[in-house]
A and B are shown apart, each in its own frame.
Chain A
Amino acid sequence: MVTVIARRLVFTVFVLWGVTLVTFFLSRVVPGNPARLMAGPQASPSAIAHISRLYGLNDPLYVQYGRYMRDLAQGNLGFSFLTRRNVRTDIATFLPATLELAGYALLLGFVLALVTGTVAAYRRGKAADAAGRLTAIAGLSVPVFWLALLLQLLFSTQLGWLPLGGRLSPGMAPPPHITGLLTVDSLLTGNFAIFVNAVEHLVLPVVVLAAGVYGLMVRVMRTSVIDALGEEYVRTAEAKGLSRWRVLRRHVLRNALLPAVTVLGLEFGLLAAGVFVVESVFQWPGIGNYAFQAIQANDYNATLGATLVIAVIYVVINLIVDIVYLYLDPRIRYT
C-alpha cells in the first residue's frame, strides 16, 4: 500500500509541474501587452519599455518560466496589475469566500441526494424512482447561470426576500477574521446579526451550486443503496427483527456512503465550473470571480495564480480520494 501511495505522490508532483507549465505558457501567449496594462492607459512608450525591462517581459519564455518557478518555490505568485496587490494576498482574501460557498453547496446537495437516492432505491421501478432520476438529470441539465438569474429575479427583485448578491449587505462590517468563513466567524464572535445576514446572502448561490452536486450524487447513492440492500448482512439484520429505520441507518447507509467518496473528485470539477459562473452572477468576492476578471483583463499573474490554486486543490482532492478509497477497499490495496 505504501508503494502505491508513493507512486501516486510522485505522479501528483509531475501533474502539478505540468499544471504550472500549461498555465504559464497559456497566460504568456495572450494577445495584448501586459506591460501596457501595468503602466496604465496614459503611459508613454518609454514607461512601457521600462516596465517590460523591469519585469523581464522581453526575455525568452523559458527564462521567464524559470524565474516564475523560482519565485513559486518561495511561495511568491507575483503581482496583480488589476488589484495592485500580491496575488498571494488576493488569493488568501478571496479563497475563504469560495470555500464557504462551495462547502455549503456540497453539504446541501449531498444531504438532498442522500434522501432522494435512498427513497429511489427502496421504491425501485416506482414513480418515486423515476422522479428521483428526473430531478437528478434536471439538476445536471439546468444552466447554472440561467437558474441564478431566475432565482435573483424571483426572490430578490420581485419578492424582495433575499439579497441580490455579495457576501454581506453594504454598511455591514465583516466579523474579525478568524477562519475567513463569515458564518463561522460571526458565530465565534457572537455576532448573530452578521450571521443571519451572511446566511441570507448564501441561500441563492448555494442552492444554484447544489443543483449540480445533487444531480451527480443521486445516482451514486441510489446504486449503492440498491447494492447494500442485496447484501447478506442486511437480510440478517432484517431477520433479527430490527426495525426498518434501524436497518437503514446502521447497516444500509453506513455501507452505501462509501462509494459517495469516489465521486468527490468529479463533484469538485463540477463545483469549480459552477463557482466560476455563480460568483460572476452573484458578485460573490471569491476566487472564481477573481479568476474571471483576471482572465478578461489579461492580468496574467492573477490568472496564473488563481488557475494554479484551483488546479492544486483539484489534484490534492483527487489524491486524497484515491488514498481514502485505497484504505476503504482492501481489494484495490493488495493488487
Chain B
Amino acid sequence: MKQDRQPRAAAGRLRRMSRAVQPFLAESWLNGLGAVIVVLILLLAVFGPLLAPQNPDQVNLLAVLQPPSVNHWFGTDSLGRDIFSQVLAGARISIEVAVIILSLSVVFGTALGIMSGLAGGLVDEIIMRITDLFLAFPGFILAAAIAATLGPSLQHTVLALAVVFWPWYTRLIRGQVLSLREREFVLAARVARAGTMWIATRHLARNVLAILIVQVSLDVGYAILATSSLSFLGLGAQPPSPEWGALIASGRSYIQTAWWWTVFPGLALALTVLGFNLLGDGLRDWIDPRLRGSLVGGVQE
C-alpha cells in the first residue's frame, strides 16, 4: 500500500509543478525556448562525458585538423582531438564555474544584504559604502585586474568574478529587506519576540527567494560569458583545458584553415548564454507584472 502511495504522491507533485510552469511557458514561446536550451545544457553538463564519442584529451596525430564529418561531428584540432567531445567537456566546466561563482556571491552578498538592511545605522552605512566602491569599477575590468594579479587560472577567474558579483546581491537584498522589515508579518514576529536571526532566516530569506532566483538566472549567462572572455584573453583557463573560451583562443590561430575549431565552441557558448538569458528575462517579466506582455496575464496573477 505504502509503496503504491509514494509514486502517486510524486506524480501529484509533478502535476502541480507542471501546472505552475505552464502559464510561464504559455506567456511567450521564447520562455519555452530558453527553458529547453537550459535543460538541454544541464543534461549535457551532467551526462556529456557519457555521450562523448571520444576522450576529449585523446591525441590522434593521424587525424589532425579534420573538417566536420560523420566520425568527428565538429571536426578535430591540431593534435587530432575530437572537438565535439571537447565542447561537451566544456559544457560541464562552464556550468560548474557559474554555479561556484554565483553560490559564493549569493551567499556572501545575501548575508551582508540582510545584515545591512536589518542592522541599519553605522553597520548599514559601512557595508553600503564598501559595495558602492566595488560597483564603481566596470566589473569586467576589475575581474581582469584581479585575475591577472592572482595569476592566470580558472580558479582565480572564479574568485575574481565572485568579487565582482557579490555587491549586486548585497544591494538587491538590502533593498528588499528594507521594504520587508516594515511589513506586518515581520512586525508580528518582532512583537512575538522572535530573535533577529530567526526573523532573518525564517521570514526574510524566504521572501527574497523569488527575486533572488530571477537575478541568479539572469547572472548565470553573464558569469559563463565573463569566464570565457577572461579565458580567451589568457587570464583564465589555460589550454589544453576544454573551457570554451580557451578552446576558441587555441582555434584562433587556425581560423583560416580550420574554422570549425573556433565556430563550434563559440556556438555552444552563445547558445548556452542565450538560453539562460531568455529564461532569466522571461522569469523577470513573469515576476514583475508591470513588464508583462499582456495586461490579462497581470490580472490573472
Which residues of A approach B to under 8 Å, CB–CB? 11, 14-15, 18-19, 22-23, 26-27, 29-31, 124-125, 129-130, 133-134, 137-138, 140-146, 149-150, 152-153, 157, 223, 268-269, 272-273, 276-277, 280, 291-292, 295-296, 303, 307, 310-311, 314-315, 318
Contacts and interface: CB of A to CB of B under 8 A. Distances in A.
Interface of B: 28-30, 129, 132-133, 136-141, 144-146, 148-149, 151, 221, 225-226, 228-229, 232-235, 245, 248, 252, 255-256, 259, 262-263, 266, 269-270, 273-274, 277-278, 281, 291, 293-294
A147 to B, nearest CB: 8
Contacts of B277: 137, 140-141
A119 B31 CA distance: 21
B242 to A, nearest CB: 16
B248 A11 contact: no
Contacts of A146: 248, 262, 266, 269-270
B30 A276 contact: no
In the complex, the 5 A-B pairs of residues with the closest C-beta atoms, listed nearest first: A273-B140, A146-B266, A272-B138, A141-B274, A141-B273
B262 A149 contact: yes
A15 B291 contact: no
Given A30-B149, A137-B278, A314 B266 contact: no
Contacts, number: 135
A150 B248 CA distance: 11
Contacts of A14: 129
17 contacts: A19-B133, A27-B145, A125-B294, A129-B293, A133-B30, A140-B277, A141-B270, A143-B225, A145-B229, A145-B233, A150-B263, A152-B255, A153-B255, A157-B255, A273-B141, A295-B145, A311-B138
A223 B291 CA distance: 7
Given A145-B248, A307-B145, A276 B140 contact: yes
A277 to B, nearest CB: 6
A21 to B, nearest CB: 9
B229 A273 contact: yes
Main secondary structure of the interface of B (DSSP, over half): helix
Given A15-B133, A311-B138, A150 B144 contact: no
Nearest to A271: B138
A200 B269 CA distance: 29
Given A143-B266, A273-B139, A26 B149 contact: yes
A300 to B, nearest CB: 10
Nearest to B234: A296
Contacts of A143: 225, 228-229, 232, 245, 248, 266, 269-270, 273
Nearest to A133: B30
A312 to B, nearest CB: 10
Nearest to A144: B229
Contacts of B252: 149
A130 B293 CA distance: 10
Contacts of B278: 134, 137
Contacts of B139: 269, 273
A283 to B, nearest CB: 13
Nearest to B136: A15
A137 B271 CA distance: 11
A227 to B, nearest CB: 9
A30 B139 CA distance: 19
Contacts of A296: 148, 234
B148 A295 contact: yes
A226 B273 CA distance: 28
Contact of B255 (A19, A149, A291): A149
A27 to B, nearest CB: 8
Contacts of B132: 11, 15
B136 A19 contact: yes
Given A307-B145, A310-B138, 5 more contacts: A15-B136, A144-B229, A146-B269, A146-B270, A311-B141
A143 B263 CA distance: 11
Contacts of B137: 19, 22, 307, 311, 314
A315 B138 CA distance: 9
Contacts of A277: 229, 232-233
Given A11-B132, A137-B281, A143-B228, A23 B145 contact: yes
A216 B228 CA distance: 20
B273 to A, nearest CB: 4
Given A124-B293, A133-B281, A310-B141, A142 B136 contact: no
Contact of A307 (B141, B259, B274): B141
A150 B293 CA distance: 34
Given A18-B133, A124-B293, A149-B252, A314 B221 contact: no
A118 B165 CA distance: 32
A100 B87 CA distance: 37
Given A145-B229, A307-B145, A138 B136 contact: no
